Amino acid sequence: MDADAVVVGAGLAGLVATCELADAGRSVVLLDQESEANLGGQAWWSFGGLFLVDSPEQRRMGISDSLELAWQDWQGTAGWDRLTNPDGSPGPDHWGQQWGRAYVEWAAGEKRSWLRERGISFFPVVGWAERGDGTSGGHGNSVPRFHIPWGTGTGVVAPFEQRVRDHIAAGRVIYRPRHRVDQLVRSSGVVTGVRGSVLAPDSSPRGVASNRDVEGEFEYGGQAVVVTSGGIGGNHDLVRANWPQRLGEAPTDMLTGVPAYVDGRMLAITEAAGGAVVNRDRMWHYVEGVRNWDPVWPGHAIRILAGPSAMWFDGRGDRLPAPYFPGFDTLGTLDHLQHTGVEHSWFILNRALAGKEFALSGSEQNLDLTQRRYRDVLKRPITAVQPSVQAFLDHGEDWLTADTIGELVAKMNELTPHAPLDPAHIERQIVERDRQVDNAYTKDAQVAAIRVARGYRGDKLTKRAFPLHRILDPKRGPLVAVRLRVLSRKTLGGLHTDLTGRVLDPLGEPVPGLYAAGEVSGFGGGGVHGYRALEGTFVGGCLFSGRAAGRAAAAATA
Ligand SMILES: Cc1cc2nc3c(=O)[nH]c(=O)nc-3n(C[C@H](O)[C@H](O)[C@H](O)COP(=O)(O)OP(=O)(O)OC[C@H]3O[C@@H](n4cnc5c(N)ncnc54)[C@H](O)[C@@H]3O)c2cc1C
């Protein structure tokens, strides 16, 4: 045995599992196919948003939340429908649901203090992601729950990275970057280690696709192997192969929201060692993807986190029906758009709205929060256009501006000649909507939703829900159109695990010696989210499942 445990993947889930193991006195070999520059994986790039329930930050914003309400939202969002097999045995959703309940309890309980013990604190305004499908018991957050950590994703990774580095210095953790696992070793039914390829050194900066030149081979043995290798979002072949028919055809023109190393290879490798994958057809991709004007990884796209006011049109020029407003129902909107026959869609708004209501997901798109430049953060509500949004307005291939609708639609048609729009049709819909804003009441569901958002102190203070006005008001101009495409991101299904992170075989029995956590395990159980997510639950899912798997593996190797 080279160590008590071998951890495959040095993203956030792998770092957390390694910390738990090493803190408990276990020796660990931590492997990753990427270079040291990529330590922390996707979480480093993430906005770092974390789902918390009934937090002091929420209470200070006047939000009344509870475990019961959050669990109601989670269940309505998950829509678990595979709880039992036809023969009555536990189905693919059995453990996912258990993980879901445990996670919501953690988010309403220990999670915040556990994070604060590690030095993670939060921006005081809580974000309201996935505002839902318009029903009380269905999809969506009834209240704002998206807590943004100071430092964004980099701030969440930092304490775990530091702890692992301390353990490396103390000799308890052996870290081997550029070590790609190709096989799990199994003898007499027990997983006893890993085999793989040593990849050639690569000095590419973080996130840039690295070489796959093989320079040698390796094998490491351990009493426990913990797989924390991430999802499939960087592998469009796999995304397409698993794409569910219920969402229509997989997009032919898909952008990529994750680095290339999110390749999903370890799923088949773990299956070959006896682990079961469940709920492969569940994924969480965004419809508000724009091509990054300054790309890092292949096909690099950024997701627009839009406030509630932009008008959203499908590729034929029809306004999306309720409840498919920006930031309300990610998968419902994807489903709707995939059935229109045109893959892209459009936001149409004006510069004032784009400047105030658009945020961009990712640590590098929010440098004020990432670098803890508190003064700049305070200036957000009084800044006409956020610098990162201005950069996209200046350089982004999907971003168009014009003074009149006629001019704007002409530019849109130049960008997408295969789906030409009728300017009169677009203008009529905007004018109809603009006539709804003069009264305190309305029959336009989106205008009503903007008023509800303005009722939330956080949205009002930050101007994330900008005061209602006519989109065609020239004082708020110029007009802005943004072409949106599907951006591949998260994997909701994955390795089937029990509540301690033990990987289960197709019969539901643990594979001895094998654990999994993070996105590769559907963030726990092979599907903690079910069909949909409430957001801020992925980084948190890595923390929770990495902790559970690390603790269980530490106990098993004592
Ligand atoms: C831009 C962006 C914004 C996001 N924003 C949020 C947010 O605000 N809130 C939220 O909750 N989530 C967010 N997420 C999602 C979240 O960051 C990820 O789901 C999470 O970090 C996944 O972590 P992981 O440890 O499971 O996997 P990863 O971070 O993907 O790490 C897996 C590691 O395993 C390695 N690996 C894979 N296969 C092998 C192999 N065969 N051998 C050796 N190593 C291997 C990879 O190289 C990688 O380093 C965001 C993601 C991105 C990209």
CB-based burial, 492-526: b 16+ in 10 Å, e otherwise: bbbbbbbeebbbbbeebebbbbbbbbbbbbbbbbb
- Ligand 1 centroid distance, CA of 306 (Å): 23
CA 551 remoteness from chain centre: 25
Q: Which residues of 386-415 are buried (b: 16+ CB within 10 A; e: fewer)?
A: bebbebbbeebebbbbbeebeebbeebeee
- What is the rounded CA–CA span in Å between residue 531 and residue 535? 13
192 pLDDT band, cuts 50/70/90, is very high
DSSP assignment letter at 204: P
Q: Choose among 412, 422, 257, 414: nearest CA to 345.
A: 412
| DSSP H or E run through 265 | helix 265-272
User: Across-strand partners of 167?
Assistant: none
**Which residues does residue 260 pair with via DSSP β-bridges, in sequence order?**
none
- 288 C-beta closer than 6 A to ligand 1: no
User: 380: helix, coil or strand?
Assistant: helix
Dig out the tokens for 318 from the structure: 């029809």
pLDDT tens-digit readout, 426-478: 999 999 999 999 999 999 999 999 999 999 999 999 999 999 999 999 999 99
* Spatial CB neighbours of 110, under 8 Å, sequence gap ≥ 6: none
Expressed in angstroms and rounded, the spacing between residue 406 Cα and the centre of ligand 1 is 43
End-to-end CA distance of the chain: 14
Residues 6+ apart with CB under 8 A from 106: 544
Any ligand 1 atom below 6 A from CB of 38: yes
How far apart CA 39 and CA 22 sit, in angstroms, is 17
Question: What is the reported pTM?
Answer: 0.97
Cα of 445 from ligand 1 centre, angstroms = 36
What distance in angstroms lies between residue 43's CA and the mean position of ligand 1's atoms? 6
Task: For residue 525, give both structure tokens.
Answer: 């159980």
In a 3-state reduction of DSSP, which class is residue 331?
A: helix
Tell me the pLDDT tens digit for each residue of 476-495. Answer: 999 999 999 999 999 999 99
Other C-beta atoms closer than 10 Å to the C-beta of 183 total 14
In terms of Cβ atoms closer than 10 Å to its own Cβ (0-12, 13-18, 19+), residue 206 is: middle
- Rounded to whole angstroms, how far apart are CA atoms 28 and 224? 10
Helix axes 539-556, 94-107, angle to 10 degrees: 110
Tokens of 352: 């004032």
Structure tokens at 31: 């492997």
Task: Evaluate: CB of 362 within 6 angstroms of ligand 1.
Answer: yes
Q: Assess whether the C-beta atom of 45 lies below 6 angstroms from ligand 1.
A: yes
The answer to whether 443 and 436 have CB atoms below 8 angstroms apart is yes
**Residue 328 structure tokens:** 């309300």
Where in the sequence of the chain do the CATH 3.90.700.10 domains occur? Answer: 290-487
Average pLDDT score over the chain? 97
Is residue 130 lining ligand 1, measured as CB closer than 6 Å? no
Distance 105 CA to ligand 1 centre (A): 24
Residue type, 515: Y
By percentage, how much of the chain surpasses pLDDT 90?
A: 99
Q: Verify whether ligand 1 is closer than 6 Å to residue 10 (CB atom).
A: yes
CA angle (421 as vertex; 295, 485 as ends), nearest 5:
25
User: Kindly report the CA angle at 356 between 351 and 360, in degrees rounded to 5?
Assistant: 100
Q: What is the Cα–Cα distance from 80 to 528, expressed in whole angstroms?
A: 9
Strand partners, 181: 196
pLDDT at 529: 98
CATH class of 3-229+264-282+492-556: alpha beta
**CB count, 10 Å around CB of 433?**
18
CA 379 to chain centroid, in Å, comes to 27
Q: Residue 96 pLDDT > 90, yes or no? A: yes
For the stretch 3-42, pLDDT in tens is 999 999 999 999 999 999 999 999 999 999 999 999 999 9
CB 492 within 8 A of CB 522: yes
* pLDDT tens digits, one per residue of 381-415: 999 999 999 999 999 999 999 999 999 999 999 99
| 210: pLDDT strictly greater than 90 | yes
Q: What are phi and psi of 38, to 5 degrees?
A: -100, 10
Q: Above 90 in pLDDT, residue 105?
A: yes
Average pLDDT rounded to a whole number, residues 230-253: 96
pLDDT at 504: 98
* Structure confidence at residue 358 as a pLDDT band (50, 70, 90): very high
Q: Average pLDDT for residues 509-527, to the nearest whole number?
A: 98
Q: Which residue has the tokens 């006011």?
A: 309
Task: Write out the CATH class of domain 290-487.
Answer: alpha beta
Q: Quick check: CB of 149 below 6 Å from ligand 1?
A: no
198 burial via Cβ count (<10 Å: 0-12, 13-18, 19+)? middle
Task: Report which ligand 1 atom has the smallest distance to the Cα of 49.
Answer: 8
Which residues, in sequence order, are CB contacts of 209 under 8 Å at separation 6+?
Answer: 259, 260, 261, 297, 298
Pocket-testing residue among 6, 42, 156, 487, ligand 1, by greatest number of atoms within 8 A of Cβ: 42
- Tell me the pLDDT tens digit for each residue of 48-94: 999 999 999 999 999 999 999 999 999 999 999 999 999 999 999 99
Residues of the chain with CATH 3.50.50.60: 3-229+264-282+492-556
211-230 tens-digit pLDDT: 999 999 999 999 999 999 99
- For the CA of 262, the closest atom of ligand 1 is 30
User: Averaged over 526-533, what is the pLDDT?
Assistant: 98
Return the pLDDT at 1. 80
State the amino acid at position 508 in one-letter form: G
State the Cα–Cα distance between residues 194 and 553, nearest whole angstrom: 16
Mean pLDDT, residues 106-121: 98
**Ligand 1 site, residue 11, Cβ cutoff 6 A:** yes
